[in-house]
Amino acid sequence: GQNIDQPTEMTATEGAIVQINCTYQTSGFNGLFWYQQHAGEAPTFLSYNVLDGLEEKGRFSSFLSRSKGYSYLLLKELQMKDSASYLCAVLDSNYQLIWGAGTKLIIKP
Amino acid sequence: NAGVTQTPKFRVLKTGQSMTLLCAQDMNHEYMYWYRQDPGMGLRLIHYSVGEGTTAKGEVPDGYNVSRLKKQNFLLGLESAAPSQTSVYFCASSGLAEQETQYFGPGTRLLVL
């Protein structure tokens, strides 16, 4: 079966750095996405990785290792508004998105 | 440019009742999707469409039907609602040029009693 694992919840301090991990086992791979979802709102696109390595976009970076079936989202200089759930999703061989359950990130002052 | 909109935002149904959820997008996207999101679970694909007049089943299609008569609209129907269909329903769309990036509507919260 297809499976995406990410921690259920993480806590971090404002101004700090946090890394959210995602491991996957899917039938084929055509890219990995990270989405942000604030409580009661829709998911919004953060990043897309299809090749190994690090993609940096402002305070957010996303890393991919296809051989290890592993990705992480790195958030720097945390702000209170970063409190949200972060969803990892993999595009499988049929170009269907397989979603993880999401990681709820709590930011404390 | 409203992006993806959904109607209604919230609805309460009794078991056995039927309803239709409407999704509209103004980005001229080819692909449209219906998901449900339940606590502790990832988004699950119900049905999707790769173009006007076409639909296909996703991971959890039972109890739902869809139609895509116009490119900009994607309707999700519940023929006979069950408490197990209590969920938050999200519609999403994506374009041919950027097939993979999906843009989501604000969601419809459905409670089936």
* Mean pLDDT for the stretch of residues B85-100: 85
- Secondary structure of residue A80 in the 3-state scheme: helix
Beta strands in A9-96 (DSSP E): 9-13, 18-25, 32-37, 44-49, 53-57, 60-65, 70-75, 84-91
**With 80 as the cut, is the pLDDT of residue B100 above it?**
no
Q: What is the pLDDT of residues A59-103, one digit of tens each?
A: 999 999 999 999 999 999 999 999 999 999 998 888 788 999 999
Q: What is the pLDDT, as a whole number, of residue A41?
A: 94
How far from the centroid of its chain's Cα atoms is residue A77's Cα?
A: 17
AA letter at B99: Q
Question: pLDDT band for position B64 (50/70/90)?
Answer: very high
Nearest by CB to residue B45, choosing from A33, A96, A102, is A96
* Mean pLDDT for the stretch of residues A7-26: 97
Q: What is the pLDDT of residues A28-56, one digit of tens each?
A: 999 999 999 999 999 999 999 999 999 99
B43, B50, B57: best mutation site toward chain A, by most A Cβ within 10 Å? B43
B23, B37, B38, B91: best mutation site toward chain A, by most A Cβ within 10 Å? B37
Binary contact (B103, A45; C-beta < 8 A) = yes
Q: What is the pLDDT, as a whole number, of residue A47?
A: 94
Beta strands in B1-113 (DSSP E): 4-7, 10-13, 19-25, 31-37, 44-49, 56-57, 64-67, 73-78, 87-94, 103-104, 108-112
Put simply, the chain A residues between 52 and 81 with a CB less than 8 A from any chain B CB are none
Distance from CA of B82 to the nearest CA of A (A): 23
- How many contacts (CB atoms, under 8 Å) link A and B? 44
Nearest by CB to residue A42, choosing from B41, B44, B104, is B104
- CA A33 to CA A90: how far, in whole Å? 6
Q: What is the pLDDT of residues B30-50, one digit of tens each?
A: 999 999 999 888 899 999 999
Binary contact (B42, A102; C-beta < 8 A) = yes
How many Cβ atoms sit within 10 Å of the Cβ of residue B59?
A: 16
Q: What is the pLDDT, as a whole number, of residue A73?
A: 98
Q: Which residues does A30 contact at the CB level (< 8 Å), separation at least 6?
A: A50, A91, A92, A93, A95, B100
CA Rg, chain A, in Å? 13
Q: Which residues does B97 contact at the CB level (< 8 Å), separation at least 6?
A: none
Q: What is the pLDDT, as a whole number, of residue B99?
A: 53
AA letter at B39: P
Structure tokens at A2: 């297809």
CA distances from B104 to A2, A33, A50, B72 (A): 23, 14, 21, 14
Binary contact (B100, A33; C-beta < 8 A) = yes
- CA A105 to CA A84: how far, in whole Å? 5
